[in-house]
């Protein structure tokens, strides 16, 4: 095979989403509570597979997940998600000792494809390919959080824990009250998995600085 043909094949595979080979493989441990820790990356992963959903639904699902005593779950970015791929495995390209219900399918990342905002990056876990997909498509989900201690908001409605409440966070609290968004602990201070009008008012007061 000529060098030109080899070069063309390599270029094609890269453009098609051929997986990046990473030397720093995940160091996994089963926590026995539905989660798996990667001590190398400093991440804790949801062990189960909640099924397929659109990208927006996946974001909301992870933000509302309560698992392993933590409520700070989120959809992983593309770098974090790709770190779970195992180059020695395929169909699925992940260590099924720790993720026994994993499928050889596409999983969402939180990373939007910059050139086309209607698409987001994901990993196809048949061979670990990285590619971008329409956000309205349905793909699998695996949520993640940091191994750092969970930051608990002390200001009602401060869901990104930056010490302030924005108008977007007020709207989010209202949507939780109306049942349009998954309830989050940063608004649901009573812990009853529902948002009351009083809790919305507390969020508004935080926004107004009262």
pLDDT tens for 28-41 read 999 999 999 999 88
Mean pLDDT, residues 148-173: 75
Query: What per-residue confidence (pLDDT) applies to 195?
Result: 85
- Calculate what percentage of the chain has a pLDDT beyond 70: 83
The pLDDT confidence band at residue 87, using thresholds 50, 70 and 90, is confident
Q: Topology of 3-146 in CATH?
A: Mannose-Binding Protein A; Chain A (3.10.100)
Mean pLDDT, residues 122-127: 94
**Rounded distance, CA 54 to CA 72, Å?**
20
Pinpoint the residues of the chain covered by CATH 3.10.100.
Answer: 3-146
- The mean pLDDT of the chain is 84
Query: What per-residue confidence (pLDDT) applies to 149?
Result: 60
pTM score over 0.75: no
Burial class (CB in 10 A: 0-12, 13-18, 19+), 62: buried
Query: What per-residue confidence (pLDDT) applies to 88?
Result: 86
């Amino acid at each position: 095979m000529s060098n030109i043909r080899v070069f063309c094949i390599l270029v094609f595979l890269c453009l098609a989403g051929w997986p990046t080979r990473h030397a720093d493989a995940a160091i996994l441990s089963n926590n026995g509570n539905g989660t798996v820790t990667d001590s190398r990356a400093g991440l804790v992963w949801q062990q189960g597979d909640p099924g397929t959903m659109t990208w927006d639904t996946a974001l909301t699902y992870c933000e509302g997940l309560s698992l392993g005593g933590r409520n700070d779950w989120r959809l992983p970015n593309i770098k974090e998600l790709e770190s779970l791929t195992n180059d020695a495995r395929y169909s699925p390209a992940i260590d099924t000792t720790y993720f026994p219900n994993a499928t050889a399918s596409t999983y969402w990342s939180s990373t939007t494809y910059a050139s086309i905002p209607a698409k987001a990056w994901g990993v196809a876990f048949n061979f670990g390919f990285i590619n971008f997909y329409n956000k309205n498509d349905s793909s699998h989900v695996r949520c993640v959080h940091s191994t750092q201690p969970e930051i608990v908001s002390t200001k009602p409605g401060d869901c990104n824990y930056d010490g302030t409440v924005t108008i977007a966070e007020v709207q989010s609290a209202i949507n939780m009250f109306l049942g349009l968004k998954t309830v989050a602990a940063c608004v649901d201070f009573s812990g009853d998995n529902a948002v009351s009008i009083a809790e919305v008012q507390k969020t508004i007061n935080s926004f107004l600085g009262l």
